[in-house]
Structures are given as structure tokens and as C-alpha cells.
Structure 1
Amino acid sequence: MGNPTEINSVYWDEKTKSWQYKVVPVEEYHGYTECQHCRRPMSHNIKSEGEFKVVYVKCGCARE
């Protein structure tokens, strides 16, 4: 499996007081941090739009 070209990130929106999603393009991929419980990716270290970022995703044990 190769590096992702985009990631569907999750973030907290203060206006709506709910979780929102945003697809973030990936220029460079630098790995991920895994959840301690389900061992699936919880955040990704990427370069996007010319800057290094940490983007968060819902891990395997996150509930709706």
C-alpha cells in the first residue's frame, strides 16, 4: 500500500458544536500515530499546501 494522496480529516467546529470532515490533499506523507486501544491510525503527519500538519481521523474504536 502506497502513501495516501488525500486524507478525510475530522475537526471540531465551534460554530455548530459538532465534528466536521474535510478532505486534505497530501504532498508528503510522514507516518501516523496509532490509537492505544484499537491500534489503528488516529492522526497523520503530512505536508499539505506547503506546510507540515497533523491531521486527525476517526480511529477504529470511535463511536458516532
Structure 2
Amino acid sequence: MDSPKEINSVFWDNKKKSWEYKMVAVDEYHGWTECQYCNKPMSHNIKSEGEFKVVYVKCGCTRTD
């Protein structure tokens, strides 16, 4: 898998009480953690804007109702 240049991260917005998305630029990519059910990426370990971060994404088994 090639290192991504940006990741569409998901986060909870307390004001809107809903899930929001934000594109995060990736300076360095350090792997991912997989979902125990679908074995797809659930979070990514990256360096962005000079600091190491864990960004979360919707995994493959996430359903939208």
C-alpha cells in the first residue's frame, strides 16, 4: 500500500451532535489499525503539521442509517 497524501478523517462534533469529516494532510505515514470485524483500516498513525496524530476513518463495516 502506498502512503496516502491526505486522509478523510471522521470526528464527533459536540455542537452539531453529528459526525463530521475533515481532510488531513499527511507528512509521514506510520501505518494503520484494522477493524476487528471487517479487517479494514479504522485509524491511521501519521505525522501532520509537525506532530504525530491518530486519525480515525469509517471502516468497511460502518453502516449509514
Same fold (TM over 0.5): yes
Q: What residue number does 2:41 align with?
A: 41
Which residues of 2 match residues 27-38 of structure 1 at below 5 A?
Answer: 27-38=27-38
Q: Residue deviations 1:2-61, cap 9 Å, x none?
A: 100000000000000000000000000000000000000000000000000000000000
Q: Distance in 2 between matches of 1:7 and 1:48?
A: 11
TM value normalised by structure 1: 0.98
Residue 26 (structure 1) aligned with residue 61 (structure 2): no
Unaligned runs of 5+ in 1: none
Query: Identity of paired residues, percent?
Result: 75
Q: What residue number does 2:14 align with?
A: 14
User: Post-superposition, which runs of at least 4 consecutive aligned residues in structure 1 deviate over 4 A?
Assistant: none
TM value normalised by structure 2: 0.96
